[in-house]
Structure 1
Amino acid sequence: MKHSAPRGRRLKRLACLGAATVVAGLLAAPSSGAAQAAPADPGTPPGVDEVASTPNLNQVAYLPKTGPFATSTNSDWAFQGNYAFGGNYNGFAVYDITNPKAPVVATQVLCPGSQNDISVYGNLLFLGTDSQRTNDSCDNSASSNATPGDRWEGIKVFDISDPVTPRYLKSVKTTCGSHTQTLVPGKAGDNSVYLYVSSYNLAATDQPNCALPHDKISIVRVPRADPQAASVVATPVLFPDGGYPGGSQGQSATTGCHDITAYPEKDIAAGACMGDGVLFDISVRSAPKVITTVRDTENFAFWHSATFNNNATKVVFTDELGGGGAATCNPEIGPERGADAIYDIVGRGNNRKLEFRSYFKIPRTNTDTENCVAHNGSLIPVPGRDIMVQAWYQGGISVWDFTDSSNPKELAYWERGPISATQFVSGGSWSAYWYNGFIYSNDIAKGVDVLELKDIRTNAARRAHTDEFNAQSQDNYRNW
């Protein structure tokens, strides 16, 4: 679910005009816990490093990037017990979050390779590499198209039996690398973990390790009893007709998938596949089958990620207009591009369809120096409601309710002002996820933010607790 920096080209950055709200200082005011309406576009944008927020969403901790990660991009999250595992283009960090209001860096693992997408399961951690490297070790460097010899990209497997001393076990090379990977546990009697590896090619020509047409995913099977036997067991072609060919207004062609979110208990998955939104049957873990696809050729530029509601009757797809490197939260772009799209799942079995209901986009205008677009989020476990928290890069963090698919509403937000007031600088929240009562944000440029939501509409979520969390492998939170 993650940053879509294109292979071989940069998308044009879009200009932006601004007007939003300012709450000066580094922390928002404390909340009474009462329901608060999130103002739509409350005035002047916050200044550099100032914070704007609704009173019900407060920052309770902040850790700046340090060591080998200080000048490298932060990426995605996974959680287990009292530890948060944060990806970074130089490796991953392990944070002790025993006290969420005082997190500490437990260890850092230097292992370069964008974008280091991360998942955890039991004693195993999986790290995705989507850049050509000189070898599969953690002592590697970038390998350009002009460099002769072997090039490696794919999945690395670590043992995290002791979370503060991860041990590298195994690599699995995958076609076109691993931009994201989706963890799917094996079914009864199969003590394996499956990784649906998504990757894509935005270049006009073939590239080493990523020949066109690239209309498939790679499926890696990892036997839990023998993780060093991990291997690619299938490379299903999802788009035998080639998928969406792309549009004249910058809409991406389908040459792979960017991200897949699985709901293993329901035997379904939703794929955000560049030009196509996809619903899969994953009852056979190594052979996902396309149930239906959907396209939005008017407003969606790049299908980026997906989130089910807890009942698996809806999917929220995100559009990463501009590849995460443009200012798109402005009146020129409007409320329907670079947004979320809410689809209801209707019908049964192989006759299920995705029916569009509405768009949601943060109702604030960012400045022309800030990248802002829909990005990674997760459900907040409120029984009977469909509520999620979501990162919007420098647009900040939004909590919104889509219980009424046709009328989504923002409940809370928190955002930090631009990195620069005079020039475009990329940054902001890459991923914002709910984990055991707190919201954790991995900021591309700044570090880790921990937020606390105090609102009567979401207080029931405080009773939910899970021992492991991967946003792309959704659990039924009624089991928590």
Structure 2
Amino acid sequence: MRRSLRLLLAGVAATVMVASGLPAAADPGEDHSHESHSGPPELPPFTGPSSENMTLKANSDKDGVVNSDLAFWGNLAFAGNYNGFRILDISNPRSPKVLSDYFCHGPQNDVSVWKVGRRLVLFQSVDRAQSKADCDGTAAGSSVDTPLITTGPDAGRATFGFEGIRMFDVTDPRNPRFLDAMPTACGSHTHTLIPEPRRQRLHLYVSSYPLGSGVTPGSFTGPGPRCASPHQKISIVTVPFRDVRDWSVREKALSDDTDVYPGTVPGDPLNPPFKACHDIQVLMKRNIAVGSCAGDTQIWDISNPANPTTGNGERHTHVRSPSAQDRFEFMHSAVITWDGKYFATMDETGGGGTAECDGSAEEKGGQSENGFYYFYKLVRPGDPAPALLSRYMIPRPQGAQICVSHNANVIPVPHRYVMVAAYYQGGNSIVDFTDPRNPTEIAYSDPEDTTVGAADSWSTYWYNNHVYANGGLNRRGATANRGLDVFTVTDDRGRPLRARLWHHSNPQTQEVFQGWGAH
């Protein structure tokens, strides 16, 4: 069965057409039902230690807001949240320092960064209609969610406003400056940065979809990109290095045989079926993208980064549900091994609002039925879909806690496949999948700190011999978010895990220099 996703109807501070908000869920626009596939958890919650082979070294707390994705440049970490982003100095990872906390509301505010000449530029995804495109770093100068329409055929939809990509100059990390904003159809739920240095430009592959209040009101007749079912496209923002404000946006269709995400309530105009992507992972070494597109996962050729092979008649491969008994729920994101031989695609069953972590998959002795990472051989775009090799769920049952697979990256260690992944209230997991038919947890941390807050990890990534986890979704209490955690990882003998050092990392963009075989 498929899990329902419904729109999170966020409250706004407007004086007209005000609707009260629901508690924050993982992704803006998704209020996730706690309906279960098979009743309550079948295994008792794990009662062992809160960590193993993974040691918390530092924390930079961030309460009162949903904390989202991460990016890194040199000794700086960029931590997104629904109200903007923080820039932290991580030159000493055991004592991160907040350099700026820039207020610019716009869920979910996922981030990427790139150096353009002498300027460091940050891009941020906005997936909820905003009252204006710009902001100045203060609450008073920020946009707010546009009000919801309360009557007529458009009831429940947001008044039309800006959504898409915002761009900032963060060259001075203590004083970020807004540069420009690029509207895109259905906004930008996430984006992936594709550098094209030979042509002195970069591209942003924008993933978005029509859901809930994000569907454009039928009564709106003004200019701007529309958001409507089935969507069936990604947006591509191209930014030239000579003038980053001279950007352009084009839309690229997904093929007609993209699997449909069926919507959440049949006949509900706020929950239509759609064909759309949630996230796109790229491996520059092979010029391949893995698009996690709700109903299926797709493999595209990005040899021409301005024109990925997503459409009808173009070389791409669809990876569909493994069986009638094991159906994809909501394909969310993926990771790829640095040698380009394997990938894992993740099913965010319940969208980050349900309890899916009931021990390992059944074939490994647990009772989890959904929400897995699925492991496959990476084929060339256009080749037949690969066979499923294995599934992974954390082996520590979480009972009724909100837990499902979420954002991850592959650690660049030589001659092994190791990834680190977030599991919301299940914490953070280090997984060895050197044998992709038998992925195994080798380290974990699931903080249950009553002072800072308990785990609710959104993004967990490896960067320069440390693991950084950004989390806290405002659902454990007003002051119980953890914000940014920093960990080290050891093996069973206490030896630190070391890997290739990076100059920067946008985790959805796996660049050639980052792999362990790179020179």
Task: Report the TM-score range of the alignment, normalised by the length of the smaller protein.
Answer: 0.7 to 0.9
> Structure 1 vs Structure 2: percent identity of aligned residues?
38
CA 386–279 in structure 1, closer or farther in 2 if over 3 Å, else same: same
Q: For 1:365-384, what aligned pairs fall within 5 Å after superposition?
A: 365-368=397-400, 370-384=401-415
> 1:258, 1:304 within 8 Å by CA — same for their partners in 2?
yes
> 1:396, 1:414 within 8 Å by CA — same for their partners in 2?
yes
Q: For 1:439-450, what aligned pairs fall within 5 Å after superposition?
A: 439-444=467-472, 445-450=481-486
3-state SS of the aligned residue for 2:378?
strand
Counterpart-to-counterpart distance in 1, 2:412 and 2:158: 50
> 2:55, 2:488 within 8 Å by CA — same for their partners in 1?
yes
Alignment pair present for 1:222 and 2:239 = yes
Alignment pair present for 1:159 and 2:184 = no
Corresponding residue for residue 490 of structure 2: 454
Counterpart-to-counterpart distance in 1, 2:187 and 2:454: 24
3-state SS of the aligned residue for 1:323?
helix
Alignment pair present for 1:236 and 2:252 = yes
Once the 2 structures are TM-superposed, how far is the Cα of residue 5 of structure 1 from its aligned partner? 3.5
2:503 to 450, 460, 467: 467
Alignment pair present for 1:410 and 2:441 = yes
3-state SS of the aligned residue for 2:129?
coil
Q: Which residue identity lines up with residue 228 of structure 1 in the other structure? A: R
Q: For 1:31-50, what aligned pairs fall within 5 Å after superposition?
A: none
Alignment pair present for 1:391 and 2:422 = yes
Q: For 1:92-111, what aligned pairs fall within 5 Å after superposition?
A: 92-111=85-104
CA 357–160 in structure 1, closer or farther in 2 if over 3 Å, else same: same
Counterpart-to-counterpart distance in 2, 1:214 and 1:6: 18
Q: For 1:180-191, what aligned pairs fall within 5 Å after superposition?
A: 180-186=190-196, 188=198, 190-191=199-200
Q: Which residue identity lines up with residue 108 of structure 1 in the other structure? A: D
CA 458–91 in structure 1, closer or farther in 2 if over 3 Å, else same: farther
> Unpaired segments of 5 or more residues in structure 2?
1-24, 136-141, 150-156, 218-225, 267-271, 311-315, 473-480
CA 106–462 in structure 1, closer or farther in 2 if over 3 Å, else same: same
Corresponding residue for residue 383 of structure 2: 351
Counterpart-to-counterpart distance in 2, 1:149 and 1:245: 25
Counterpart-to-counterpart distance in 1, 2:385 and 2:295: 17
Alignment pair present for 1:18 and 2:21 = no
Counterpart-to-counterpart distance in 2, 1:106 and 1:135: 26
Once the 2 structures are TM-superposed, how far is the Cα of residue 163 of structure 1 from its aligned partner? 2.1
3-state SS of the aligned residue for 1:353?
coil
Normalising by structure 2, what TM-score?
A: 0.78
Q: For 1:238-387, what aligned pairs fall within 5 Å after superposition?
A: 238-241=254-257, 243-244=259-260, 246=262, 254-290=274-310, 291-296=316-321, 298-330=326-358, 334-346=367-379, 348=380, 350-351=382-383, 353-368=385-400, 370-387=401-418
> 2:290, 2:297 within 8 Å by CA — same for their partners in 1?
yes
Q: Which residue identity lines up with residue 142 of structure 1 in the other structure? A: D
Alignment pair present for 1:7 and 2:29 = yes
Counterpart-to-counterpart distance in 1, 2:180 and 2:168: 7
Q: Which residue identity lines up with residue 430 of structure 1 in the other structure? A: W
Counterpart-to-counterpart distance in 1, 2:493 and 2:208: 38
Corresponding residue for residue 82 of structure 1: 75
> 1:202, 1:255 within 8 Å by CA — same for their partners in 2?
no
Once the 2 structures are TM-superposed, how far is the Cα of residue 299 of structure 1 from its aligned partner? 3.5
> 1:376, 1:430 within 8 Å by CA — same for their partners in 2?
yes
> 1:113, 1:130 within 8 Å by CA — same for their partners in 2?
yes
Once the 2 structures are TM-superposed, how far is the Cα of residue 354 of structure 1 from its aligned partner? 2.9
> 1:260, 1:305 within 8 Å by CA — same for their partners in 2?
yes
CA 393–173 in structure 1, closer or farther in 2 if over 3 Å, else same: same
3-state SS of the aligned residue for 1:312?
coil
CA 457–276 in structure 1, closer or farther in 2 if over 3 Å, else same: farther
RMSD (Å) for aligned C-alpha atoms: 2.9
> 2:239, 2:248 within 8 Å by CA — same for their partners in 1?
yes
Once the 2 structures are TM-superposed, how far is the Cα of residue 321 of structure 1 from its aligned partner? 0.7
3-state SS of the aligned residue for 2:167?
strand
> 2:296, 2:328 within 8 Å by CA — same for their partners in 1?
no
Once the 2 structures are TM-superposed, how far is the Cα of residue 8 of structure 1 from its aligned partner? 6.7
| Higher RCO (CA-CA < 8 Å; seq separation 6+) | 1
CA 393–437 in structure 1, closer or farther in 2 if over 3 Å, else same: same
Corresponding residue for residue 194 of structure 1: 203
Normalising by structure 1, what TM-score?
A: 0.84
Once the 2 structures are TM-superposed, how far is the Cα of residue 459 of structure 1 from its aligned partner? 6.5
Corresponding residue for residue 141 of structure 1: 144
State the number of aligned residues. Answer: 437
3-state SS of the aligned residue for 2:328?
coil
After superposition, the C-alpha distances for 1:358-381 in whole angstroms (9 at most, x for unaligned) are: 10100011131x210000111111
Once the 2 structures are TM-superposed, how far is the Cα of residue 454 of structure 1 from its aligned partner? 1.6
> 1:9, 1:203 within 8 Å by CA — same for their partners in 2?
no
Counterpart-to-counterpart distance in 1, 2:193 and 2:493: 31
